[in-house]
A and B are shown apart, each in its own frame.
Chain A
């Protein structure tokens, strides 16, 4: 049964009062929280971090909307559509694997968790490789056109987050391999949140870069 924010605040206050002990030697008040309350605070803090990241990516999306247009409407860079669909599918599949692994660790299925997160890490590398390959065959360089500049900026900023996410997932996979997760698996949840966030960003970037608008013909 869930507890509302108001109820939680009251409960937190009770526990805080119950554990608000006075350290006679150092003159400090020590407030102890239950593991459940700590988890709730971790979640809130991580979501606030993700919201701050949302501002960054929203700004980039707005820049794309404002800059990539001409008298005929929206424009877009000339990209390989099949490759775009392929890497988008791979990232979606990795998000599914992460969720599958998160379910597994919450049920104590460590082997399934390791397999699922391992597969997601591999797919993260494949996605990054696909983006790098798209850079190598791109028709516009960043200095040649605004479409090229936005393409490299958007995919570069996103790829930077994907690489960070891969590092995060590898650390969590290794901790799982060592058997460091039990009913307390906040590390798994946090890495999953980050990876899904990167996926949500790509949901919009894929549409903005590959699907909306027409390829302009530069004279």
Chain B
């Protein structure tokens, strides 16, 4: 009887995308941070925003996203509760 491993074949069929690490991740996060900063500037200097009556909420949300990116990817907060993780 042939030992057929369905899951193994299924995973072979679709090549896995490797997660960004090291220098590539560092550059990707920097690009995202710059894009968000210029978006902030655009939101703050635009008088009539299409959705929000005030620019307060979008500005705070963008700032929170930027802080989360730095804390997670640059400060590696997950290292606190993982003993062996190097992150690079």
Contacts and interface: CB of A to CB of B under 8 A. Distances in A.
B16 interface: no
Given A4-B81, A100-B23, A199 B70 contact: yes
A56 B67 CA distance: 17
A33 to B, nearest CB: 12
A85 interface: yes
Nearest to A50: B75
Nearest to B44: A211
Contact of B70 (A102, A107, A200, A211): A200
A180 to B, nearest CB: 19
Contacts of A5: 81
B67 A200 contact: yes
Contact of B59 (A1, A40, A107, A211): A211
Interface string A103-118: 1001100000000000
Interface string A24-49: 00000000000011001001100100
A196 interface: yes
Main secondary structure of the interface of A (DSSP, over half): helix
Given A92-B30, A102-B88, A200 B37 contact: no
Interface stretch (A132-140, A167-175, A202-210): A202-210
Interface in A1-22: 1-5, 8, 11
A43 B59 contact: no
A193 B59 CA distance: 25
Interface residues on B, range: 35 or more
Interface in B44-88: 44-45, 54-56, 59-60, 62-63, 66-67, 70-71, 73-75, 77-86, 88
A96 interface: yes
A197 interface: yes
Given A74-B56, A95-B70, A203-B63, A106 B86 contact: yes
A207 B75 contact: no
Nearest to B33: A92
Interface in A46-76: 47, 73-74
Contacts of B44: 210-212
Contacts of B37: 85, 88-89, 92
Contacts of B55: 211-212
Interface of B: 22-23, 26-27, 29-30, 33-34, 37-38, 40-41, 43-45, 54-56, 59-60, 62-63, 66-67, 70-71, 73-75, 77-86, 88
16 contacts: A3-B82, A40-B83, A44-B80, A85-B38, A89-B34, A89-B37, A96-B27, A99-B26, A99-B30, A103-B23, A103-B88, A106-B86, A107-B88, A200-B67, A200-B70, A211-B41
